[in-house]
Structure 1
Amino acid sequence: MKKILLLSFAALFFAATSHAQSADTTAIHHAHKAWQKRSKKGNTDFYKKLNLSADQQTKLKAIKGDEKSKATAIKNNSNLSADEKKQQLKALNKDAYNKRQAIYTDEQKALIKEDHAKKKAHKGHKKEATGNGSASVD
């Protein structure tokens, strides 16, 4: 009798925990989708502020498409270790960054640098507000 109760309790426990995990994953997925929508809108506004020419837009789209296809190929290459993939993706990102920088004007580069500084300052401010900063307590 004890074995039956123990097995039924174990089955109920595992069923409950597996359901809780799927619910948490769904919540995280929805939060991520909402963040992506806000992020895309913010990027659209930022790119309008950059005032990119049609030629610049075309070149940037080509770089992004090339980077995306190469990144997919690296991620799907089963012959590479995780560290090798990480290194190749880092090199790919650096190369794409350099290509993009060659397209921007000096004014656009200044706007990008300013935007990055604002984001970095905002990120640091959020850490302090949530208590994740490195403040000491006496």
Structure 2
Amino acid sequence: MQLRFLGKNSTSGDCPTLYATDRDTYLVQGWRVFANDLLMQLDVPEGQTVVEVPTELFEHLEKDGLPSGEIRRLEDPIMILTPGGTFVVQGLEVTDPEALAQMTIPDYETVVEVPKTVIIALLEAPRGADLQRRAQPAL
């Protein structure tokens, strides 16, 4: 799998990062989700995982020719908004050694792969009763 760097949200080496692939997918590198209260709200099938990233990370989608990087709809289980204002993104956990060799991934981060068509759908304006899901704050 070949990657094309789209961007990250800081100048330091270790931070959430967005890549386009040669498979019409995006790789979202973000913080591993360890919060039990959040994980209990999700149904994460085997082979998938979730990462948490700043909402601004998706502004880099414009570098891939998309008209806007503004996520306008939240679709369960692909993307939810946390009470802290970040996105939790669910997708296939990336295990491809060739892809992983092209990234610098600290221990507290991991990478998920999400189809490009799914991300594009999240950029569209909601129609009617959109299925928006927000993570519930811990009690």
Q: TM-score range by the shorter chain?
A: under 0.3
**Larger RCO (CA under 8 A, 6+ residues apart):** 2
TM-score by length of 2: 0.21
More strand by share: 2
- Max Rg structure: 1
